[in-house]
Amino acid sequence: MICCETNIEIQPEGLFPQNFSQKSICVKNEKEINLVHLNENRIVYEEDLSAENLDLKAANIDISSEIISQQPKSKPHNFETDQLNDKIQIKKFPQSSKKNNFLSLNFSSIQSLVESNFFEKKIDKNINYLNGIDTFGLKITYKNYLSTKAKQEKKILPLLFFIHGVGGSSVTWKHQLKFFGDLGFEIIALDLIGHGKSTKSKDKNDYTFGEICTHVLKIFDIYAKNENVIIAHSYGCSFAVYLSQERYKLIKKLVLISGGLPFPLNYQNFFLDAPLIFFKCIKPFVNCHFYCSAFGQNYQDNYLEAFKISAESLFYTMKGQYWHPIFKKDKYFKDQKVLLIEGENDKFVPYKDAFEMFKGLDNSYLIQIEEGSHMILLEESDVINKLILLFLKDP
């Protein structure tokens, strides 16, 4: 584990698809926000996305592997080789590869998945609890009145707007940008102030929650289409909730990953009460704590490219997570569909926070990933990508 600051240059080339561009938008007093823009002004219709091709890309399936047909059973973990008429196919994997079983499922949307019999179901107070841990490494929670019918109309793919969390950057989304960019979605992924290639401001007032909200809103207003989907992680979920209230007519759906309730993270400790010079001295230990806590033990990747941030910017961002309770719990979203994704072993955002948020929503799914960490968007990128894709295809 690396426990010191490393000066490396973020090089998106090779991480993102060929058809991307980087732009800098001036938001205030010569402060610039960097963003990655994929498939600019490209028009792709939903009906042009082939279900079979999407599933193969999402699951990265080796089509030469052994495939068995399986009818949904009352005990979904029972994978006996039965020759039945159901179209759904499940790959035969070792017991330890449960997530690959999920990646092999061929459903058109999350709605069709939850309406199947692949999960053990429990209903309590109008909430459905679907336990697929033994089979797919997933738990899904949703409400009874979620089901809707798809409208038969030709629709353009929505713009995907990505917001990262504290200490991250647009590179945090490298797997998602590559996956959805290749599918033809127009994408905006920004670097928050002080992060990635955005301006490293020396003014602490540029890092308050309210000020960053104005940055995010300005970028959104420049690039927003008629239909947009916000995809956010960790602290970025708070800005997503803010956008959902300010521009609710333009935001169709939201995906909130490792976010929980839209309140400040619990960084109110003596490190932030100390002078900045002291924080600069302990920054290597802060880095080490983050890497040890945010990632699972078995994760191996060059994550440094996504988490290059100065001690000053990190310090001010963390201290800036104070704001008045502008969110009303019963009015987070207005007629918007929400997908909440949480890791079982997230040490920063407890599952109970996401569940509390879920209970106040009328149109949402809450999915827990077995053994998932806070950085599940990197560690479980295939699963995350497929869940988002199924959600985007929901009516």
Contacts of residue 216, Cβ cutoff 8 Å, sequence gap at least 6: 163, 190, 192, 239, 242, 243
Residue pair 19/38 in contact by the 8 Å Cβ criterion: yes
Output DSSP code: residue 124. Answer: E
Residue pair 365/140 in contact by the 8 Å Cβ criterion: yes
- The catalytic residues are 234, 346, 374
Contacts of residue 322, Cβ cutoff 8 Å, sequence gap at least 6: 208, 209, 264
Please give the structure tokens belonging to residue 114: 């939850």
Please give the structure tokens belonging to residue 94: 């070792």
Please give the structure tokens belonging to residue 145: 């009145």
Q: Residue 368 burial (CB < 10 Å; 0-12/13-18/19+)?
A: buried
Backbone φ/ψ region at 126: left (φ over 0), alpha (ψ -120 to 50), beta: left
Bridge-based pairing state of the strands 159-163 and 127-132: unpaired
